[in-house]
Chain A
Amino acid sequence: MSTQGTPKTLYDKIWDAHVVHQDADGTCLIYIDRHLVHEVTSPQAFEGLRMTGRRVRAPEKTVAVPDHNVPTDARRAERIDDEMSRIQVETLRQNAREFGVELYDVDDVRQGIVHIVGPEQGWTLPGLTIVCGDSHTATHGAFGALAHGIGTSEVEHVLATQTLIQKKSKNMLVRVEGELPPGVTAKDITLTIIGRTGTAGGTGHVIEYAGSAIRGLSMEGRMTVCNMAIEGGARAGLIAPDEKTFAYVMGRPHAPKGAAWEAAMAYWQTLKSDEGAQYDKVVEIDAAEIAPVVTWGTSPEDVLPITGTVPRPEDFEGAKREAAARALDYMGLTPGQRLADVEIDTVFIGSCTNGRIEDLREVARIMEGRRVKEGLRAMIVPGSGLVRLQAEQEGIADKLRAAGFDWRMAGCSMCLGMNPDQLAPGERCASTSNRNFEGRQGYKGRTHLMSPAMAAAAAITGRLTDVRELV
């Protein structure tokens, strides 16, 4: 079927397989295979169902987990001090019970950031459509699933109908060919792409990431790349599934088994763009030219190699010049200053971008025989209870604790500072998260985005640091 007629992209194939109905003007009703729900963007949606007497159409395709505002201290299962956070978590619990949706509660080892939990539990499979009221749903695209964030009205729409009203996006290809230099990771790839295309570069598109450097990444690395498709303006990122994908999925609690597995595999192997498929936009990047990078400003497109210097507003044109001046003022940086001279107060390792086991192993590897610099606050927030448990079983947790890190419970934590983990005004953070917006990690807090390896290097020296000097 896929080999006949016009060659199709991976996006075209998954889209076509999910069209329930198409209107004459191209507006489609798209079937949604998995709906992930968390406490912050769902209460108004469940309330809407209640007010209209509607039920959840497919509770077996829906899973709920509190992650955004749960505290990361050990006593959180007993109590959440912040009254409004407590009410939101409790509301999710009640809604899950009332509408028959499976919940991984705060005291469940499977709890964690929804985008880490989905793949871990096998909810995330190739070829599926996956949505969540969270923009980083793009993460699941690493499995060749069409996954994107939605607003609360659409959460209610999916709960009630298991579909979304959509028009098809355009196809964009980002091809990264070649071998990554030492010290360069998936995070550097994804930040470099955003630095190149800008935060609106992918608007209206679904990005397919391809090329040997992408294929060479582990599933964890691929999730890091797709996670930040949204920072590049694209609702969804996609990577064609391959043997690594199938090996990751096999045996997961919600993955198909036996004959169903065989049938699924036969289908999943067709999930790749056809030879000659057309893209509306193509970006080519040479992996060999990617360096370890950090952000200097308040937009994820403000990316520079760690060897660079803080830019001048005059280096930019038009409205971006004004934005750069505002960003430098907010970040407390001086044009011409070496990025490697910028001192930090805090290190945050975690988030749906970089809170997986491979990220923690990488930090442990850099920290081998070294310590967090005296006076720094350095926290590690594993992406899920299972990541945390695995790190403990591998002995990583003990090493990181001994090196001076605060070893926390799982959740979104300081990536967005909805829970007590926040920056104080003026504090500067080396962060493995995904957004450096004004106030993101705390009022007037200053965020520099980077890879886990680079964040570990910063933890050792107390300033932004080229990890290649330490390995």
Chain B
Amino acid sequence: MPPFTTLTGVAAPMPLVNIDTDMIIPKQFLKTIQRSGLGKNLFDEMRYDRQGNEIADFVLNQPAYRQAEILVAGDNFGCGSSREHAPWALLDFGIRCVISTSFADIFHGNCFKNGILPITLPQAQVDVLMDEARKGANARITVDLAAQTVSTSDGTVFTFDIDPFRKHCLLNGLDDIGLTLEKAAAIDAFEARARLAQPWA
């Protein structure tokens, strides 16, 4: 997993609430057996017409946001299906950070497995960042994970909360499975106990 330390980039405004993972990556793209290559189909049905032409007024098709690395989104981002293809598509497009007032649980967890930082902030602060994002390519947002801050180009700084373990893994690009296998003895012991106490389980 790529580490996440700091990021300065263009933020795309997507104020719509309840952006679900079907919107982020529609089902016809879930038939792949790989993780890569999904960026071109990110937000496919909002981004292209039936003939595959770009829909000009969709945010990521506008010149200012084609290189966006941050999304500022409406409440409950990533709800619906558990498909990890959603963060894969975001990452493949180049989005490394999503800012919203809330995230659906499964999507939130999936982000951390892929080096994407989901930042939860209060509505008033998301509103400020949304306005900032609307200014386009001139208004770059800076995210500093170690300091837990989001800064606008005019110097406004917000701090955010993050689970310390997840922060540690993200900063260092750590592989969860490797960490867990260090606890193999504890898993063995659990299984040995369970075999006696609950042989049906």
Contacts and interface: CB of A to CB of B under 8 A. Distances in A.
B84 A40 contact: no
Contacts of A161: 177, 180-181, 184, 187
A437 B22 contact: yes
Contact of A322 (B16, B199, B201): B16
A135 B81 contact: yes
B51 interface: no
B30 A135 contact: no
A177 interface: no
Interface residues of A, number: 77
Nearest to B114: A153
A267 B198 contact: yes
B79 A233 contact: yes
B198 A264 contact: yes
B79 A200 contact: yes
B76 A154 contact: no
B76 A200 contact: yes
Interface string B149-183: 00000000000000111000000000011011101
Contacts of B26: 439, 443
Nearest to A25: B164
Contacts of B179: 165
A47 B36 CA distance: 13
Contacts of B87: 151
Interface residues of B, number: 56
A149 B190 contact: no
Nearest to A159: B177
Contact of A200 (B32, B75, B82, B110): B75
A134 B76 contact: no
Contacts of A133: 82, 84
Nearest to B86: A151
Interface stretch (A83-91, A98-106, A335-343): A83-91
B74 interface: yes
Contact of A69 (B31, B34, B186): B31
Contacts of B199: 256, 260, 263
B140 interface: no
Interface of B: 15-18, 20, 22-23, 26-28, 30-35, 45, 50, 74-76, 79-84, 87, 102-106, 109-110, 113-114, 163-165, 176-177, 179-181, 183-184, 186-187, 190-191, 194, 198-201
11 contacts: A21-B186, A27-B165, A133-B82, A134-B82, A135-B81, A161-B181, A203-B76, A418-B31, A437-B23, A438-B23, A439-B26
